[in-house]
Structure 1
Amino acid sequence: MKLKHLTLTLAVTGLSSLTTAQAAPLKIALVETLSGPQASTGLLYRTAVKFELDKINQAGGWNGEAIEIMEYDNQGGPAGASDKVKAAIADGADIIIQGSSSAVSGQITEDIRKHNIRNRGKEVLYLNMGGEALELTADKCHFYHFRFTTNAPIRVKTLVNAMQEDGVLGSNVYAMNQNYSWGSDMEYATEQQAAANNYTVVEKTLHDVNRIQDFAPYANRIKNSGAETVITGNWSNDLLLLMKATRDAGLKIRFGTVFLDQPGNIANAGDLALGHYISHAFNVEANDATKAFAEDYKAVTGHYPTYVEPQTVFGIQMLGEALRNTEANADGKLNTTQLALNLENVTLQGPLGEIAIRADDHQVMLPIVVSQVSRDAEYKVDGTDMGFSVVKLFTGAEAVNPVEQTCSMKRPS
């Protein structure tokens, strides 16, 4: 009897040890631009990801273990990102997160698609927080890619609709964009929205990215076109120098923008920014819920959420909700296929309204706010006397574009 009791005790102890050994922490890899001249945006993604993942860990993590956050500096290019994704997967990453640059996003989503085909049962999930190229939820869509940010059709649709209702759009619009996939998407979306919003695209231009120092010739083109509004997806100096050139040319032109809230833009533009419009995923001034979220974020990070940070936090919050309903495999590892299925069913009540994932293409349906740069804004930005005043709010369902016909998502059996 004593021998049987001892054997049973050892068996139970062994089972307990085996269970503990099988428990594996969830590993999430941030593959982002964390150094060099383009690091400012990548560091914002890191701040937002860490903000929400820390909250998830404080609440118990996943499967009884703290989530492990790994960081890989992709150095701003597709080739570097591809190498870092391979390294992250080799290090046991279950989920890859990235946002800066659609070119990088396109590389990562293809790398992960190919990896998952070769490694059935060991799939990796890609959470795209900022790559807005339309192809990512069109011909490049796949089951293990989720986009938690907007795209050009969403940005343009909400922008021109709000400006038209505000009586400032005019009937003649110039589409000015950078010559790569994002700029082409913006140009296409601007043309597509013309009939519904009663304007004509009088001219369109795609120009070199971050190589032009003198936009005076482009300002002359805008002047000669008779445009009343410029719709542009330009960012950084390509936006600021374009706006400056139109002012120097004496043009009273209205800009509809996408990235005017990039930190430093308002400070660099000064009074030049006043009166222009932006379509974005967050405005602290929208309501009490946005203000509460912003104050919570500032208490942890030292600054109010801006630019790419809000949608990144919301995306990680949706991940947290999906993880609640995702159990570990027998080996204690994450079942990424089950997580993806659960993520499709998450509905989050964000500060601007309901956020959900569209199962057909994994495009987030995210509330959008169109704002105008004004001195009357309650929350000033960049240390200036200006901020973003709310013009119009759109629900996620109102803002989202139709599913692209070229998206043919193969779902797991």
Structure 2
Amino acid sequence: MFAKKMLCNATAAVLCFSFLFSATTQAAPADKEPVTIAIIDPLTGPMAGVGLPLVAHMKFEAERLNAEGGMNGHPFRIVGLDNKVSPQESLVQLQKAADDGIRYIVQGNGSSVGSALISAIDKHNRRNPGEEMLYLNHGAVDPVLTNERCSFWHFRFDAGSDMKMNALTNWIQGQKDIKKVYLINQDYSFGHSVSQMARDMLKEKRPDIEIVGNDFHPLAKVKDFTPYATKIKASGADAIISGNWGQDMVLLAKTLADFGVDAPFLTYYAGSPGTVTQVGERGVDHIYQIYAYYGDTEDPEIGQRQKDMYEQTDWDYFLFYPRLTTMMEMLKKAADQVQSVDPVKIAFAMEGLSVDMDTGTYTMRKEDHQVQQPMVLSVMKGDMPYGAEGTDYNFAKVALIPAAEVAMPTTCKMRRPRQD
């Protein structure tokens, strides 16, 4: 079983790590060497609330998939490496993983970190033939990472922020009562790309909409969003758009609720752990999320996973990280097809590979290694069949957007190694 939830801080870090990583996930049926996957994401500090459920989700799914044979008979083994959302610390942790012979790296919280990992893994693989590493990106969604920064060694299993904004603005296009939009985002590459794409796409699809605010705030440093909420309420905005995640999402959502801002809050990551419990009833019919999954699934197997994972870990299955399930299913399918766990063979096998998930088919586009997927616009509701965070609140489906309507073109010019 996994550790019960705790948000690590400096004084509790040793205790937290001793519980969370005291035992790695073991295989049920196999006696082959495990395939170790290192997660390089925040596991202490203000953003630990997005890193710890990530580890729990991957261990939860590893147990299930190991019982089904793992990767070509090799069990998944999950370890966590704390990067504190720092590109520099991430490179330190990447070197530790390389020194330990780990060849699969998972990261997704922070596109600045993702950019640093792409460069470092590209360099490592050029210098160390036969010891190549793969970067499995679960959520660093700046479009640049699959365009001009694209790499053969990088695969993204979440929709790019341009894909999400395309889907979101397609929905806004039909909402004629939205005439004023306020933008608020984290002040780094991802937040700026969300802002720019919102402005560009709204100008094209709804030129009558007025952007009444465009704020940026420091990543993971704002403790009081009152000044921002005051401006948003005074602006008379009919809708607010934000790509915020983690603590920045939770605190912003709570402050808007405290100020009685009832305009639709259109988000990428309202499912960040803590949002549901912080806003409760005040979020119903107000907080939206554009994401791949939703809380009122009709698939009893997925519903059971939600119940089981929360019972075992205190973290929710489909509130924030179901994309990890897609990633692990695709890794397993690729390994089983090529009968190997070698990262180079796995990389070639994943190009163009599709897996069927409960919301539709997910395909890894060969041209840029960006997964092509449907998206779901959902809104927070009460009395849900599968509640989140121990409540009866979750996100209910408003619209399912097919993959073809989510897709965006790529400018990637990928260089591939020779295939044996």
TM-score band, normalised by the shorter chain?
0.7 to 0.9
Residue type of the partner of 1:368? M
Q: CA deviation at 1:385?
A: 4.4
- Segment of structure 1 superposing worse, 95-104 or 346-355: 95-104
8 Å contact from structure 2 (residues 273, 320) kept in 1: no
Percentage of pairs with the same residue: 32
* Residue 48 of structure 2: aligned partner: 39
Q: Deviations over 1:2-57 (max 9, x none)?
A: xxxxxxxxxxxxxxxxxxxxx86533323333334422221222122223333333
Correspondence list, 1:289-328, <5 A: 289=299, 291-299=300-308, 302=311, 304-328=316-340
1:266 aligns with 2:276: yes
Contact 2:165 2:198 in 1 (8 A): yes
Shifted more, 91-100 versus 357-366: the winner is 91-100
State the match for 2:362 in structure 1.
Answer: 355
Quickly say closer, same or farther: Cα 1:102–1:225, change in 2 above 3 A.
same
Letter in 2 for 1:131: A
| Matched residue, 1:282 | 293
**C-alpha deviation, 1:373, in angstroms:** 1.4
Q: CA deviation at 1:216?
A: 4.2
183, 189, 194: which is aligned to 2:191? Answer: 183
**TM-score, normalised with respect to structure 1:** 0.83
Cα separation, 2, equivalents of 1:95 and 1:31: 11
Task: Identify which of 388, 401, 404 aligns with 1:394.
Answer: 401
Answer yes or no: is 1:346 the counterpart of 2:353.
Answer: yes
Task: Give the stretch that moved more between structures: 232-241 or 354-363.
Answer: 232-241
* Shift in CA distance, 193/380, structure 1 to aligned 2, threshold 3 Å: same
CA distance in structure 1 between the aligned counterparts of 2:177 and 2:244, rounded to whole angstroms: 18
Mapped to 2, the partners of 1:235 and 1:68 lie a distance apart of: 27
Matched with 2:149 is: 140
Aligned residue number for residue 242 of structure 2: 232
The 10-residue stretch of structure 1 (352-361 or 374-383) with the greater mean CA deviation from structure 2: 374-383
3-state SS of 1:103 partner: helix
Aligned residues: 381
Gaps of 5+ in 2: 1-31
Cα distance in 2 for partners of 1:351, 1:400 equals 19
| 8 A Cα contact 2:33 2:75, kept in partner | no
* Superposed counterparts of 1:5-404, under 5 Å: 25-62=34-71, 64-165=73-174, 167=175, 170-194=178-202, 195-198=204-207, 199-223=209-233, 225-243=235-253, 246=256, 251-276=261-286, 277-286=288-297, 288-289=298-299, 291-299=300-308, 302=311, 304-328=316-340, 334-375=341-382, 377-403=384-410
User: CA–CA distance in 1 between the matches of 2:116 and 2:346?
Assistant: 23
2-side partners of 1:273 and 1:341: how far apart?
44
Q: Distance in 2 between matches of 1:297 and 1:223?
A: 36
Deviation string, structure 1 residues 112-154 (Cα, Å, up to 9, x no partner): 1111111234321111112122222122210010010122222
> Structure 2: how far apart are the matches of 1:83 and 1:251?
42
Deviations 1:280-325 (A, max 9, x none): 1211314x33x42231353356254133320011111011000012
Contact 1:47 1:301 in 2 (8 A): no
Could you tell me how far 1:278 is from its partner in structure 2?
1.2
SS at match of 1:142: coil
CA contact (8 A) 2:169 2:205 kept: no
Paired amino acid for 1:189:
M
SS of the residue corresponding to residue 338 of structure 2 reads: coil
Q: Give the aligned residue type for 1:56.
A: L
TM-score (norm 2): 0.82
d(CA) in 2 for partners of 1:376, 1:24: 45
Residues 374 and 406, structure 2, Cα contact 8 Å, conserved in 1: yes
**Aligned equivalents of 2:355, 2:408: Cα separation in 1:** 19
SS at match of 1:193: helix
Judge which range, 294-303 or 89-98, deviates more: 294-303
Distance 1:238 1:65 in 2: 38
Distance 2:125 2:150 in 1: 14
Partner of 1:12: none
Distance 1:112-1:393 versus aligned 2 partners, 3 A rule: same
Using the TM superposition, name which of 205-214 and 353-362 deviates more.
Answer: 205-214
What amino acid sits opposite 1:285 in the alignment? D
How far did residue 59 of structure 1 move?
2.8
